[in-house]
Structures are given as C-alpha cells and as structure tokens.
Structure 1
Amino acid sequence: MTRPERYYELEMLLETYTRLIDDDQLEAWVELFAPEARYEIISRENLAQGLRLPLMLCENRDMISDRIMSLRQANIYNIHTDRHMISQLRVEAVEGGYRLGANYALFQTNQEGVTQLFSVGRYDDLVREIEGRLLFVSKRVIVDTAAVLSLLATPI
C-alpha cells in the first residue's frame, strides 16, 4: 500500500505534467522524465491487437527534448491552447517504483476561440524516485481512437 504522502506526491507529479503542457511550458515538461524514459502515444486498438505501431514514440529524454525543439523551431501546426481533465489516480507499488494510471480528456481551443474535445484515453506510467525526484521512466498515453481531429503536434 502506498503511503498517503507518497500518493499525494505522485498525484502532484501528474498534475504538474498536465499543467506544464496546458501552460505551454514544454521545456520544463521534458524535465519530468528520467534520462532513459520512454514516451509513447498508442491507440487502444493497436495495443489490444498487439500491434506495436505508436502515433508518437520517443525512446529517451533526449528524443523527447528534440521533439519539443522541432515543435518550437521547425513544425507548422495549429496554434492552440490545451486543457486536460484527469480522473482519480490509481497507484500500484512495483519493484523499484510505482505504476500509475489515470483517465484523461484533452480539450483544445484554437485561435478563433473554438474549443473541442481533442483526445480521450488513459495514462499508463512507470515512475521511479531518482536522485530524490519522482520522474517518469515510462509514459504511455493510450488514446481511445487513432483518429486525430488535427495534427498531433503537442504532447498529450
């Protein structure tokens, strides 16, 4: 069983994760990942069928950082504001860390002020304490559908 204090710290890690995306502080968001961290967005259907084709895959923090740098400097995408809604956090203590799970809904508002539901799914994460900090070692975003309304540019 996870101590209430640790549960709160893990809950705050996930809150910080979504807040930094929503506030477009993506360079700070990268720092929530361990150097060897894996970030993956995959559809529920592909996962259920054992198909390993993700919508996005970064196999370490450097790749995650490169993704953000290309987003800032090279990519052309729909300018928008994100807003995450997260369910109650599920925590399971595992060897060397914690398995986290939560459902999410991600809304996006475009420059014209139109808000729409962009993605719904769940997070399946592995978190470890590294040098006194809780960091994501694996972040899997399982989207309910691979159909994306517009370009998948920013993290979910």
Structure 2
Amino acid sequence: MTFEDLKPEVVSILQNTGQSVTERLHEICQLLKDHITYYDWVGFYFKNGDKEELKLRTYVGAETEHDIIPFGKGICGQVALSNENFVVPDVQAQDNYIACSFAVKSEIVIPLFKDGENIGQIDIDSETPDPFNEEDERFLEFVNQEVAKIL
C-alpha cells in the first residue's frame, strides 16, 4: 500500500469510537508495520504528566525496555525538546542514541501537537539503512494530525 492508500485506513481506525484511544493507536502501529516494509518498530510516546519525560503508550515490534525516556535523551527525548522532525539515516552515527536493538539501522521521530503543544510523538525504527524520506515525514505528520483529533 502507498501512503495515499493508507491515509483513509488511518482515518477509519481513528474514527472507531468503539475502541479506546490506546487500542486505536495500537491498531495504527500495526497497520503501519504491516504495510510499510521498512517500518520494523512503530510506537507512540506521550509526555508523562508534568514530568520532563516521555512514556511509551503502545507499540508494535520487538520488545523494548525504554518505557520512559527523559527529555533530551535519545532521538525521542531530543524531539520532545526541539519540536521538530528527526530523521536518522544511520543510528550508529548518533552520539545521543538509545539502542533498542542491534538490528535497528535508522529511525524517524515525528512530534505530535495538540493545540500547538508538543504532547507526544510517533517513533519508527527500521532495520534498513537510510530508508526514510520526505514522503515518510509528510505521511507521519498526517497520522499525528489525525491522532491529535481524538486526544
């Protein structure tokens, strides 16, 4: 499926009010992992209350120990502070990278805004070197804009 084909699927999942928000987010993670070959781990992190940290809400992929990520630490923690997309073509080249798995080669993190505030992010790890491009960024921005509508 192309990104354009996935957009109505994302909207449909998010509009299913018979499921909890977390269940819908999990279904989005599964949809993306299943249909984008180089998306090997897909998860949503959100600001943990008033704390300067992110908390993993749901994900699909290999198990992770990183349920909590302090602001500024790793790619996710940096995005929590910068409010900007972060595409990492080669995680080995990043000094401030939190390794989730030796198989991960690249990562993309897109902040999620609600009413102008960065409240979370979608995080995607890939076992493929340098697969992410501007199309991924625009698509994931779309996903986050749609997610923000149900939060």
For Structure 1 versus Structure 2, the TM-score category normalised by the shorter chain is under 0.3
Structure number with higher helix proportion = 2
Structure number with higher strand proportion = 1
> Which fold has the larger relative contact order, with Cα–Cα distance below 8 Å and residues 6 or more apart in sequence?
1
Q: In terms of Rg, which structure is larger?
A: 1
Structure 1 length as normaliser, TM-score?
0.26
